[in-house]
Amino acid sequence: MTVTETHCPYCALQCGMTLQADAADRGKVVRLEPADFPVNRGGLCAKGWTAAELLGHEDRLLTPLVRERKGGPLRPASWDEALGVITAAIRRSQREYGRDSVGAFGGGGLTNEKAYTLGKFVRVALRSSAIDYNGRFCMSSAATAANRSFGVDRGLPFPLEDVARAQTLMLVGANPADAMPPSMQHLEAGRAAGARHIVVDPRRTATARDAYLHLQPLPGTDLALANGLLHIAVREGLIDEAFIRDRTTGFDAVRAAVTGYWPQRVERMTGVSETDMRECVRLLATQRPSMILTARGAEQHSNGTDTAQAWLNLALALGLVGRPYEGYGTITGQGNGQGGREHGQKADQLPGYRRLDDPAARAHVAGVWGIDADELPRPGLSAYEMLDRLGTPGGVRVLLVLASNIAVSAPHSSRMLERLRSLDLLVVSDIFLSETAALADVVLPTAQWAEEEGTMTNLEGRVIRRRRALPPPGEVRTDLSVLKELADRLGRGQFFSDRPREVFEELRRASAGGVADYAGITYERIDKEDGVFWPCPAEDHPGTPRLFADGFPTADGRARFHRVEHRDPHETPDRQFPYVLTTGRLMRQYQSGTQTRRVKELDAAAPEPMAELHPDLARRHGIADGDWVELRTRRGAARMRARCDPGVRPDTIFAPFHWPGTNVLTDPALDPHSRMPAFKACAVAISRADGPAEAADVSASAAGIAAGAARADFGQVDELIGDGVGARGGGVRVSRTQSELDRTRGGA
């Protein structure tokens, strides 16, 4: 038996866990137990407990797959053949259409080493500007706001344990009771010590139920609410004038802006009562220490950056930032959502959270990489913009996707599927045949978390180690070794390593002097210290659990206020689409569902797409709990099971995005600063449906769109998977995939 201490493969909490593996049985994990790590203290959620089930799962991809011709089936292939096809396509495309015709899409689940290598691969091996990643769909709005105010974006500027010391905790658009259940220990400890919690959510979530105050605004009106709270704080003399004077700039413009947000007006805009607003301000200002945390509910809007900014302004005006157990933070979501946004898989970024358009940053990183700074491409397009142009003139024609299932998780799926299909070559690296992999021309099987080494940076900015407990099965390789081999074949292999430790050593040097400075972090220190918080510029530097005590990494050392004004969501209800659709998560499914839909216990608990709506709204449309309903937006229609819940606003419908279908409906309108799509608010209509038939299928006419204008035809996906792949040797069982697809089409 071997015992390995590592962390959960899923979310940014990165709960510590111990794996016991049987060396005699090819490293089969026989026991998984929670560890006493500071974030989870012996707790795990249902996803963490069952994570090992996927290691030996029968759906696991075990060999590469290739599709010989568009429309033909996928069949097993050797690595040599698969990588040969990719290299040939890259060469051909770059010769004919230029370097930027080849690009990559990464993910916040990749280790730091892999995210760093992917960014470097695109800039150094492909010499292309076309790279971005799914974090753009996650916390980019809060990141943008934090960068412009604080000069740094580290989700939580303090350890999670500090949450227990806050006496007032405000959670805006965050549902940690479902999204990060073990984190609730820290909230509960706070409440036991007398803390008051305020939750801002259009739904009465499990998190809201335990709170002292639940404010239930109309989706997309958080900015008005935050400005309204600041208006009250100013009027009642509750702002911290000394802090504002000594440590910030720009407050006058904000003060002027919030005069227009008087309580009655904000009550009309948001639906939150004046009494609740006043109580909320009183608590934040006087029952200290106080913290304000935002998550996707506030941030995933076409004005998400300004909304995060409004909450940040409030925290600054109350003088919370940089004081013990106080402050503003955003709750990062994906396993390495923090590290994944620091080391260069963003279109405009170099490692260490450096800017690709900064000459000094280019010179430094080029020096570490051993290339000429002029060889580095310029910043490319953000995630949705890059995806939206796939296969179009000037757009990417050969795309590598690592660790994202965009066919399900990107907004406006019908458009996304059409763009993915128009590529000359789509390459997807995954553990399973995700909906995106099923569309690929080449599928590469990759190692899972317990089969690889690397580092992750959790929601607190704590760099931790992922450790290998067993070897990958079959012919599976790690993403690092695939990128290295592709670079070899492209004649640039001398710049790359496939050894995580070596890559980390290089990352340390590349990040040195940057905002996210890892120079002083070593694998050994991580082992000894329960992880190390960046910035950590030297090996004798203790790391930085708490930021902003002495200043801000801005030019003048002060935090910057930014004036922000309410704007309506890009789409508001009208007669044809009379309600607001918002989307999010369930406790027992993860993201696009590739992983958790394959775990028996999780699948049984949350087996099908569902929509949560108020019983009054349901009655108005003759819908009973458990009925199938059809949701329609300007982009398409999808069928789901109705769940009636009096806790949701009667004008709002909530749908999780863990199945194909929800994103057929969502609005790809982008935030002008972060390029975040409006996942959390669009206009929707609802009606009873006879059954799941054609669920997730866009019915253009039903949506009032010219026929053929929008089709998200996930149903076609199964035709693209060949028989050969179904054989055990191929490592993919078609039956399961097919039944999933059937379900999306309605069990035809």
Site for Mo ion contains 138 (CB under 5 A) = yes
Site for ligand MGD contains 61 (CB under 6 A) = no
> Min. distance of Cβ 24 from ligand MGD in angstroms?
27
Q: How many CA atoms lie within 13 A of 605 on its CB side?
A: 13
Specify the 3-state DSSP secondary structure of 678.
strand
Specify the 3-state DSSP secondary structure of 10.
coil
Site for ligand MGD contains 457 (CB under 6 A) = no
> Min. distance of Cβ 515 from ligand MGD in angstroms?
22
> Min. distance of Cβ 330 from ligand SF4 in angstroms?
16
Site for ligand MGD contains 680 (CB under 6 A) = yes
Site for ligand MGD contains 434 (CB under 6 A) = yes
Rounded-to-integer distance, Cα 192 and Cα 187, Å: 9
End-to-end CA distance of the chain: 46
Tokens standing for 420? 């993915």
Chosen from ligand MGD, ligand SF4, Mo ion, none, partner binding at 430 (C-beta under 5 to 8 Å by type): ligand MGD
Site for ligand MGD contains 712 (CB under 6 A) = no
Dihedral over Cα of 689, 690, 692, 698: its sign? negative
For ligand SF4, what does the binding mask look like between residues 22 and 51, x meaning CB under 6 A? ------------------x---xx-xx---
Rounded-to-integer distance, Cα 340 and Cα 572, Å: 33
Chosen from ligand SF4, Mo ion, ligand MGD, none, partner binding at 128 (C-beta under 5 to 8 Å by type): none
User: Where does 205-331 have alpha helices with state H?
Assistant: 206-209, 222-235, 241-247, 251-258, 263-270, 274-286, 296-299, 304-317
For ligand MGD, which is the closer residue by CB, 431 or 519?
Answer: 431
Chosen from ligand MGD, Mo ion, ligand SF4, none, partner binding at 220 (C-beta under 5 to 8 Å by type): ligand MGD
Tokens standing for 562? 């930014």
Rounded-to-integer distance, Cα 442 and Cα 588, Å: 30
Among 567, 585, 621, 688, binds ligand MGD (CB under 6 A): 585
For ligand SF4, which is the closer residue by CB, 351 or 656?
Answer: 656
Rounded-to-integer distance, Cα 213 and Cα 270, Å: 16
Identify the DSSP state of 631: E
For ligand MGD, what does the binding mask look like between residues 286 and 305, x meaning CB under 6 A? ---------xxxx-x-----
Cis peptide before 535 (omega within 30 of 0): yes
- Tell me the CA distances in angstroms from 484 to 288, 414, 445, 477, one per residue in order: 52, 34, 15, 11
Site for ligand MGD contains 201 (CB under 6 A) = yes
26: Cβ–Cβ under 8 A, 6 or more apart, which residues? 470, 471, 473
Rounded-to-integer distance, Cα 630 and Cα 685, Å: 8
Chosen from ligand MGD, Mo ion, ligand SF4, none, partner binding at 483 (C-beta under 5 to 8 Å by type): none
Chosen from Mo ion, ligand SF4, ligand MGD, none, partner binding at 203 (C-beta under 5 to 8 Å by type): ligand MGD
Q: Which of residues 141-180 bind ligand SF4 (CB under 6 A)?
A: 180
Q: Which of residues 608-667 bind ligand MGD (CB under 6 A)?
A: 654, 657, 662-663, 666
Q: How many CA atoms lie within 13 A of 21 on its CB side?
A: 24
Residue labelled with tokens 């929509």: 611
For ligand SF4, which is the closer residue by CB, 333 or 535?
Answer: 333
For ligand MGD, which is the closer residue by CB, 134 or 345?
Answer: 134
Which residues on adjacent β-strands are paired with residue 345?
A: none
Tokens standing for 322? 């940089």
Rounded-to-integer distance, Cα 337 and Cα 457, Å: 8
Which spans of this chain sit near ligand MGD (rule: CB under 6 A)? 11, 107-110, 134, 137-138, 172-176, 178-180, 200-203, 205, 219-220, 222, 295-298, 300, 333-334, 402-406, 408-409, 429-432, 434, 446, 479, 582-585, 587, 589-592, 594-595, 654, 657, 662-663, 666, 679-681
Q: Kindly list the residues in this chain that would bind Mo ion in the complex (CB under 5 A).
A: 138, 333-334
Contact residues for ligand SF4, defined by CB under 6 A: 8, 10-11, 13-15, 40, 44-45, 47-48, 180-182
